[in-house]
Amino acid sequence: MFNVVRNEPAPTSLAGKRKYDSEDVWDALKKVFHKKCYICETSAPLEINVEHFVPHKGDEDLKYDWNNLYLSCGRCNNIKLTKFDDLLDCCDPDIDVVRAIKHKPPLTPYARKLQIEAQSDDDKTKLTAELLNRVFNSEHTQNKAYTASSLRRKVYDQYNLLLKQLNKYYEPLALPDEKDIAVERIKLLLTPSSPYSAFISWCILEDEELGPMLHDCIGIG
- Count of structural domains, the chain: 1
Q: Is residue 157 part of a domain?
A: yes
Spatial separation of the C-alpha atoms in residues 69 and 24, rounded to whole Å: 13
Domain hosting residue 48, numbered range: 12-217
Q: Is residue 97 part of a domain?
A: yes
Q: Please, which contacts does 143-150 make with residues 24 or more away whose CB atoms are closer than 8 Å?
A: 144/79, 147/75, 149/110
pLDDT digits (tens, 9 = 90+) for 28-46: 999 999 999 999 999 999 8
pLDDT at residue 81, rounded to an integer: 84
Q: The whole model's pTM is what?
A: 0.94
Q: What is the mean pLDDT of the chain?
A: 95
Q: Is residue 6 part of a domain?
A: no
CA atoms within 13 A on the CB side of 113: 7
Mean pLDDT along residues 11-36: 96
Q: Is residue 1 part of a domain?
A: no
Candidate from 42-46, 68-72, 123-127, 132-136 with smallest mean pLDDT: 42-46
For 169-192, give one letter per residue: b (16+ CB within 10 A) or e.
beeeeeeeeeeeebbeebeebbeb
pLDDT band with cut points at 50, 70 and 90 for residue 82:
low
Q: Is residue 3 part of a domain?
A: no
pLDDT band with cut points at 50, 70 and 90 for residue 60:
very high
Q: Is residue 4 part of a domain?
A: no
pLDDT band with cut points at 50, 70 and 90 for residue 220:
confident
Non-local CB neighbours of 172 within 8 Å, separated by 6+ positions: none
Helix (H, G, I), strand (E, B) or coil at 50: strand
Q: Is residue 24 part of a domain?
A: yes
Please, are residues 50 and 71 in contact by the beta-carbon 8 Å criterion?
yes
Q: Is residue 76 part of a domain?
A: yes
